[in-house]
Amino acid sequence: MRRVPDPAPHPDAGRAAGPGGHAASASVFTAGGNTAARIRSRRGPKIAPDPARPIAHFREEERRLDGSRAVVLHVLLAGAECPFTCIYCDLWRRTLDGPTPAGAIPRQLAVALRETGPLPATCGVKLYNASNFFDPRAVPPGDDASIAALLQPFDRVTVECHPRLVGRRCLAFADRIPGRLEVAMGLETADAATLARLNKGMTLEDFDRAAARLTRAGIALRAFVLLPAPFVPAARAVESALDAVRYAVDRGAGHVTLIPSRDGNGAMERLREQGQWTPPVWNLIEEATDRCAPISNAVVTVDLWDTDRFLTCRHCRTARIARLRRFNDTGSPGPPVRCSACPSSS
């Protein structure tokens, strides 16, 4: 799970589980029946994207493990909805109902490349399609050659994919591009029982197998971790996220992004009502980043998309956001921000 610019309030933000922690059998999502259907029944309408052009493209600088910083072109692709139905996911909101039309993805990428203009000598690209790059319904395999041809300018190419869809096509795609392929996979949590409740259709063993396959092939691994995952008791929110970061790094992830969990998909609102998820507060995000700062064998960042919604104090808001930007840029957040006007100041 990660960000997608959206005209409506967008997700990729977190929560801390409520007082009950594991309120399992009371949940409408775990009381039996078809869990995916129950999650889907709470959805609002989609905002149908135009498959003729990317949803968005923009540049950001990103820290690499060697300490350097590189420009990364982000291309948010319009395509088919993911076949999984994770309970926390809202990425379906800007997807097509049917399969991605053949030729649409290379056309969208070409539009982004034309519109973004000249690229620096060292530049990465992220192709995020709100689904799985190696799902044939999302990215028709017949388009792989044309996509690869457009990726010549990039020394690193990041795509996202569910661990169960990392297979031979992924390895073949890595061989087609001149840059290094990086596959971003959602680990979300390292707690097997919690993971099962996320309806992600994945076990920790699935993640491990995909991670091993990628690293054996020389493909880089990036992981997403929810801060916190639903069903994690509030008191364990930071510790649980740290466990997941360490788990991913131990399996070869060179970059882990903490995703503050968010509502907006209907299901998360229901979990919050049930006390099974509480949106994360800023102090929790800061505590998690502070605890991740000593990790030196991977880049750890926090997704700051729309995070200013967590901050209401006009006195310290800018400084606190800047502190987390510094964490992302350097790996070190620096001293905490003190604010006499804000009771939640760190």
Question: Is the bond preceding 228 in cis, omega lying within 30 degrees of 0?
Answer: yes
Which tokens hold the place of 218?
A: 């020389």
Which of left, alpha, beta for 4 (phi over 0: left; psi -120 to 50: alpha)? Answer: beta
* Shorter beta-carbon distance to ligand SF4: residue 54 or 331: 54
Distance CA 161, CA 17 (A): 27
Size of the site for ligand SF4 (CB under 6 A): 12
What mask, x for binding ligand SF4 by CB under 6 A, covers residues 108 to 137?
A: ----------------------xx------
Task: Kindly write out the interface string for residues 198-217 of this chain, putting x where it contacts ligand SF4 by CB under 6 A and - elsewhere.
Answer: --x-----------------
The residue (of 123 and 183) whose beta carbon lies closer to ligand SF4 is: 183
Of residues 173, 160, 150, the one with CA closest to residue 103: 150
Least Cβ distance, residue 80 to ligand SF4 (angstroms): 11
**Rg of the Cα atoms in the chain:** 19
The Cα 109–Cα 13 span in angstroms is: 27
Q: How far is the CB of 130 from ligand SF4 (least distance, A)?
A: 6
177 binds ligand SF4 (CB under 6 A): no
Q: Hey, what amino acid is at 16?
A: A
Angstrom distance (rounded) from CA 311 to CA 58: 25
Helix (H, G, I), strand (E, B) or coil at 10: coil
CA 239 – CA 117 distance, rounded (Å): 43
The Cα–Cα gap between 108 and 50 comes to: 10
Give me the least distance between CB of 214 and ligand SF4, in Å please: 17
Examine residue 91 and tell whether it contacts ligand SF4 (CB under 6 A).
yes
Quote the CA–CA distance of 162 and 187 in Å, as a whole number: 9
Minimum CB–partner distance for residue 121 and ligand SF4 (Å):
33
Burial of 135 (C-beta count, 10 Å sphere; 0-12/13-18/19+): buried
> Among residues 231 and 327, whose Cβ is nearest to ligand SF4?
231
- Using the rule CB under 6 A, is 1 a contact of ligand SF4? yes
Instruction: Verify binding: residue 94, ligand SF4, rule CB under 6 A.
Output: no
Residue 84 touches ligand SF4, criterion: CB under 6 A: yes
Nearer to ligand SF4, 72 or 226 (CB): 226
**85 contributes a contact to ligand SF4 by CB under 6 A:** yes
- At its nearest, how many Å lie between ligand SF4 and the CB of residue 264? 13
Q: Which stretch binds ligand SF4 (CB under 6 A): 78-86, 189-197, 229-237, 238-246?
A: 78-86
Binding stretches for ligand SF4 (CB under 6 A): 1, 82, 84-86, 89, 91, 130-131, 162, 186, 200
